[in-house]
Structures are given as C-alpha cells and as structure tokens.
Amino acid sequence: MTAVTETPAWIAEITMAELEKDPYPFYERLRKEAPVAFVPALGLHIASTRAACQEIGSQSDIWDGVISPAGGRTFGHPAVLNVNGPEHDELRGMVDPALQPSEVDRYVDRLVRPIAKRYVEAFENDGHADLVAQFCEPVSVRALGDLMGLQSVSSDKLREWFHKLNVSFTNAAVDENGEFANPDGFIPGDEARAEIRAVLDPLLDKWTVEPDDSALSHWLHDGMPEGQTRDREKIYPTVFVFLLGAMQEPGHAMASTIAGLWTRPDQFERVVDDPKLIRRAITESLRWTSPIWSAVARVNKVDTTVAGTFLPAGSVVMLSYGSANHDANAYDAPSDYDLDRAPVPHMAFGAGKHGCAGIYFASEVCRIGLEELFESIPNLERDETKEIDFWGWGFRGPVELHANWEV
C-alpha cells in the first residue's frame, strides 16, 4: 500500500496503548499536520478535524457507513453500522420508533427516575461511592435494559457484557500484513456474544409467540407480514451494537459530566443549585470527552479528496469525533471543560444517515440520572485523594469516579 511508505514516523510509530491512555497529543498534531491520515497501526485512515469529520460524516451520497475490522469481527454482519441503502433503512426502521423524541417523552421519566432513585438510595448514606460503578453504569444499563425487555438480566451482567464487547471492538491493532495483531483480544467479546445468545434466544422465542411492548419484541414484529417475525440473524448484530455502545455511552456521558464539572468547582455548584443547567452541562461534557471517541468509520464509493488527502474509492476512514470536538478552529481552549462556552454544536453523536439513533433517549437518561444524583446528594464532593483516570480511544470516559459527602 503506497500510503504506508509516505507515512511520517510519528504517525507510523503510534501504538494503540498510547492512544488509549491519552489520544489528545497525537490528535492535536494530526489536526495541524495531517487532518486525514493513514495510520498503519490501524490499517486505515483517520479523520481528525471537525471539518473533515463533518464532510465525510454528512455526505452520505459519497460515503457509506462501514464497520471497522475489529468492530465487524465483534458484531458480525449485518450490524446497523455496516449496512447502507434499503438494508440500512430497514434496520433504522426497526430501532428508531422507540427512540423518537415524542415517543421517548412518553415513557422516559417513568422508566429512568425510579431506577436512578434506587441506585442513589443504595449508597446515599455511605458518604462515599465510586460513581462509575455504583451509579453511572448501572443507571445507564438498567434504563436501556428495561426498555429492550431485558428485565431478567442483572445490571452487573449487562455491565460485564459491554465491557467485554468493548475490549474486542477496540482491539483494532493490525500487523504489517493487515492481520489483527492481537487475536486473543477477541476472546472476551466471543464469550459475551455466546452468553448473550444463550440468554436472549429464549426471550426471542417467547416474544415470537407473545409479543409485548419491549423494544426487542418490536424488533421481531414491526414491519413484518402477519404471522412472520424478522430473522434473528438479521437482528443479533444490531443487538450487539446496542449491548455495547448504547448500554455503555450514557454511563460514560454522566461520569464525564461530573468529572468535567469537578474541574470547575464554581460551575459544579451552579449546576447542583440549578438543575435546569444539567442539560447544558451534559452537552459540554459530550464535547469535552466524547464517549464514542473514535469508533465508527465510512468508506467512499468514488475517488475523493478530503482536506488535501486523495482517497481512492474504497478507502476506509475512521471518524474521530472526540478529536473533532477539540478542534481549535471551532472551540477556544478545547481541552477545558466550560459550561459557559459559546454553543458551537458538537459532533459527539456523529453525522449524516448513520448519526446516532439514541440522541434524545441518551440525553434524557443522563439528565434524569444527574438530576436524581444531585437532588439526593447536593453536598457531593470529589474525593481529592483519588486520581481521575480517563481511558479509551474507541470509547472514552473516566474509569472510576470517587466522591465523598457528609452523612
């Protein structure tokens, strides 16, 4: 591949481990020097500026959605991320109805508020908690789990599944032949997938004959002729998309919002005092630490030039939305969390036909979750004795988030 020989050393030498620890310095240089660059460690191109991500993400006539190789290995085909045209329309037609804002408004408060209350009640008298493990992740998975019809699956199991799928999905490193550099990295995802099928198959059997109002029951029946259900091989890859990204990301978003606010104690206090500011706090956090940092890709149908880089038809470009959201051309001091910054729209939910289907649902889950947390523990404080480590390149958020409060 010609692109490899032209690659500057600093790009050629970047490793997954470095990116997962802290992708920002590398990406800052990419945005300045190589907005669309071939990265040998990944075997594909990366778009890092806001303009390039915007252009590629939104021009659906030129760019098709495509799953990264590790993502495809993890989810199988046909995942909603990886299909286009009528096949994509059908899968979006399957997942979208429950996620329309007007529909979400109908159920979301009743669904999420009791869940958030329950998880806060479990630790509110302890005076300390790891908010990632005890609040953000459980609220995130329970809300979507109940919506999907997975009441019988424990929150801990749902968390275990997304963590395992995440490991495989982001096992992106390739060797010089373009083969996966670390094949064992797919074992956790394979295990999770097998277990998911073992748990879900009986549920799908039940919904086949006894449809109910759960999202997965609708996925089986909606748009199908009387008496038929959608082939479950068509459903499972998108189930895995949900059980990873959709389960994990509202949790990342809540945790990053709290971590961001803790960098600005005055703003944290304002938000706790005035819950109406929670929406804005979440929006800024999605820009500041985008949960889906660099996980989705596009492939061009025709030869294209983006940001000066020629891309022959069939080039796979990964959209690093987490980097686009730190583009200094759009945001002043982009690495600072700032509730009051000028409201330039962020790209944390992606763009174009493959843009996130769960924007409204996810935002409402985060809002209601944080409302309940700050309402019950308005004296929440950062535990200053513990570091806040962010991790991840594909998906990114705080690993743990330790808080203290007086009881």
Of 81 and 131, CB closest to another protein: 131
Of 107 and 405, CB closest to another protein: 405
Q: Per CB under 8 A, does 274 bind another protein?
A: yes
d(C-alpha 179, C-alpha 40), whole Å = 11
Phi then psi for residue 387, to 5 deg, are -70, 150
Restricting to residues 331-360, name those near another protein by CB under 8 A.
342
Q: Per CB under 6 A, does 356 bind ligand HEM?
A: yes
Least distance in angstroms from the C-beta of 182 to another protein: 47
Q: Cis bond leading into 398, ω under 30°? A: no
- Locate the DSSP E strands across 40-164: 44-47, 63-66, 128-130
d(C-alpha 154, C-alpha 175), whole Å = 38
Least distance in angstroms from the C-beta of 222 to another protein: 35
Dihedral, CA of residue 133, residue 169, residue 94 and residue 319, to nearest 10: 100
Q: Per CB under 6 A, does 99 bind ligand HEM?
A: yes
Contact of 59 with 352, CB cutoff 8 Å: yes
The residues, any chain, with a CB within 8 Å of residue 324's CB and separated by 6 or more, are 47, 48, 49, 50, 52, 53, 54, 347
Of 59 and 376, CB closest to another protein: 376
Restricting to residues 237-266, name those near ligand HEM by CB under 6 A.
241-242, 245-246, 249-250, 253
> Could you give the angle at which helices 137-148 and 359-376 cross, rounded to 10 degrees?
130
Least distance in angstroms from the C-beta of 147 to ligand HEM: 7
What's CA 312's distance to the chain center, in Å?
Answer: 29
Q: Per CB under 8 A, does 406 bind another protein?
A: yes
Q: Which stretch binds another protein (CB under 8 A): 13-21, 200-208, 251-259, 370-378?
A: 370-378
Looking at residue 276, what DSSP letter applies? G
List the one residue from 149, 350, 392, 398 that touches ligand HEM (CB under 6 A). Answer: 350
List the one residue from 156, 273, 332, 336 that touches another protein (CB under 8 A). Answer: 273
List the one residue from 192, 258, 362, 370 that touches ligand HEM (CB under 6 A). Answer: 362
Q: Is 223 exposed, middle or buried (0-12, 13-18, 19+ CB in 10 A)?
A: exposed
Q: Per CB under 6 A, does 357 bind ligand HEM?
A: yes
Least distance in angstroms from the C-beta of 375 to another protein: 4
Q: Per CB under 8 A, does 275 bind another protein?
A: yes
Identity of residue 160: E
Binding mask 215-254 for another protein (x = CB under 8 A): ----------------------------------------
* 406 touches, from another protein, ligand HEM, none (C-beta below 5 to 8 Å by class): another protein
Q: Per CB under 6 A, does 81 bind ligand HEM?
A: yes
Phi then psi for residue 129, to 5 deg, are -165, 155
- Locate the DSSP E strands across 132-175: none
Q: Which residues is 180 bridged to in the sheet?
A: 174
316-319 and 296-300 strand pairing: antiparallel
Contacting positions for ligand HEM (CB under 6 A): 57, 65, 80-81, 92, 95, 99, 144, 241-242, 245-246, 249-250, 253, 286, 291-292, 296, 321, 348-351, 354-358, 361-362
